[in-house]
Structure 1
Amino acid sequence: MSSTYGIIGGGIAGASIAYHLSQRTDDSVVVFERQSPASETTYKSVAQYGFYGDETQYRMKRYGMKLYNRFFRESRVNPRYTSMGILTAATEADNADRMEEAVRTDGDTYFGKMGMGFDRDLVEYIDGDAIKEKLLLPPVDEEPIEGALFRPKVGYMDRPQELAYEFLERAKDNGVDVRANTAVEEITTDGGRATGLVTEGGEEVELDEVICAAGPWNIELAESVGIELPVKHTIAPILVLRPDDQSDYTLPAINHFESPYTFHRRSEDEFLIGYNPGDVYEDATEYDPRAMGETVPEDIRDRGIDLLQRLVPDLIDAKVVEEWVGIRSITPDKNPVVGWTDLEGFSIAAFHTSGIQLAPAVGKMIAQQVLDDDPTDYYDDLSITRFEGYTDHRS
């Protein structure tokens, strides 16, 4: 007997889930996206890809990199990847010492375990005085930098929304129905089981499985069926700057250790300032995605521009040409919450940032759970049951 699988959200997570399901089954798979696919959280992503995190994330990223290599070799749309490395720069001497010690001892609570994964030999500490002796960084002023970590295996997706389209085009080839401009108003249940959904237009859709991959809307949708996710929100402001004079030099991404700012070159004539307050789960909150504006708060804007110009003086005259404010989902342990919940027939895919990097493995895990009833090797680290007080319908 055939089944119908409904996915709420057409960003990178929902697109990956749709693709992985369509690779495994001829049953009906439907994606419900409130606007156009990948036009919100995915579009607003910094879209970095790098090998850092815990052992679970390393395994997930390895699967993702292998899949992306295949996608890019035979692309359907126009995704692009720029490999640049990332320089985590400390402007205070004590923090530079901490970096050096972290490399020597294979990591600490901030940097994670540097001695694991397959880039262990490539994480390098560089003293501030030696940066221009080891890296070609003509536009960077090394004077404020006391020390830095350099990871070469980091890059970014130039067009993160195109990456979601890569999944969706393949999914549609396999028969997936992608319904744009179709917001979900309600998830229907009966006797402890999800049975379908109701769209904003009033259409009632019966489903055998409901998979919620709705980014910042996950919290609200899960609450509507009695599930309080261990997920909160922070804002994710982005500024795009265009300098008067273009630089011919490629720079690594620069992550400032003492602040929430990251900088990287988005194109030949644009630089991007990202803001991530980091490990702040206890202080985080919940935002209404419908009410989020597009203007970066003035204090975040000014501090970011000042810091960028301090580290890269060539950008002193750069002008802000675009800005937006996304919503970043975060979890207590920095890993996503993926898979079954205690409502049978209702699964979740909620990230702690890193959606671009982890979405391929999340799609694979969801497909295995709903099609094979297989918890997968990721279950202990990604299941909602890892948090106190939570169960799923199998536990």
Structure 2
Amino acid sequence: MTNSDNQDQPGLFSPLRLGALTLPHRVVMAPLTRNRAGPGFVPRAMNVAYYRQRASAGLIISEATQVTPEGLGYPDTPGIHSPEQVAGWRRVTDAVHAAGGRMYLQLWHVGRISHPSLQPEGKAPVAPSAIRPEGEAMTYDGPRPFETPRALDAGEIPDVIAQYRRGAENARAAGFDGVEVHNANGYLLDQFLRDGSNRRTDAYGGSVDNRMRLPLEVLEAVLGVWPADRVGIRLSPSGTMNDMRDSDPRTTFGSMIRALDEYDLAYLHLMEPMESDRRHGSPAIPTREFRPLYHGNLLVNAEYDGPGAQAAIADGHADAVAFGRSFLANPDLPERLRRGAALNEPDPATFYGGDERGYIDYPALAEAAAV
């Protein structure tokens, strides 16, 4: 579906045909890592409650979910590679659907942004090239410096693609409405795409076309499981998170977006440049520069408020807006934005890990009014 297929001058609360789904409005819940999965990286009861509370989103995109044990990069993030994880996610999707919502699973492999202490048998994390990122891994023993990853052999790459395929299959078994391929924020597929982290000299490195190869092969594997109208993909053209850089991001991401335009996906999800990216020397390319290259649904994300989201949709820059921290702290965010009501302030101390506090205890409007 092209942007021109929507009604003239749609607004934030206009319905949207997003691939196979019809969203009642365009306020999307962005993927938010919260580090609260249970033993075995299995979603548990408070995860069910958290997502059910936010079922009024036009679409929920789940927190990033590792497709393999080797894809783990942070404590207590959920997986989608075991029967127990599938069953845990099924409880989440059943609750969201019972509340009238829609939900995609974000498929994830962190690549070099891990640590041997998080890896099976304490092995080195994998990456396109053996380049140690600057910064620290978050481990069960606290922050520890990143270590040099192991470059994947060409013969191992089919196994990586198969891990994403199995993750996509498991997402279907878990009852999701679709999947989003995580190709952003300095994780494995983003590492292959950008020349700051990919120094390979084989078919998966060098030219832009070669660096795009693994992301597109993964996408095609996922499309062998899900129809294109139930698949999205996320990119961060200006992102510097996890020590990422590219010598020519306009060409790299312009080429990738042109290639994605051929797949007729449910959507392309683009991260806007953030202040932290600018501080780290990003060229800070606004997502509107890429709008002419992509004729399907475009979701944008990062630092939007209600008026900014309305403006982005009204001028055709985007078809929907994904909200992160504001959805974290406001389970009924769409209704608050519709009314122009005050928003709960998020508590950064409870963003990552912990119990129900700062997770499922943020009040909805009716609850706040009763206090």
Query: TM (normalized to structure 1)?
Result: 0.30
In our comparison, the structure showing a higher alpha carbon Rg is 1
Query: TM (normalized to structure 2)?
Result: 0.32
Q: Which has the higher strand share?
A: 1
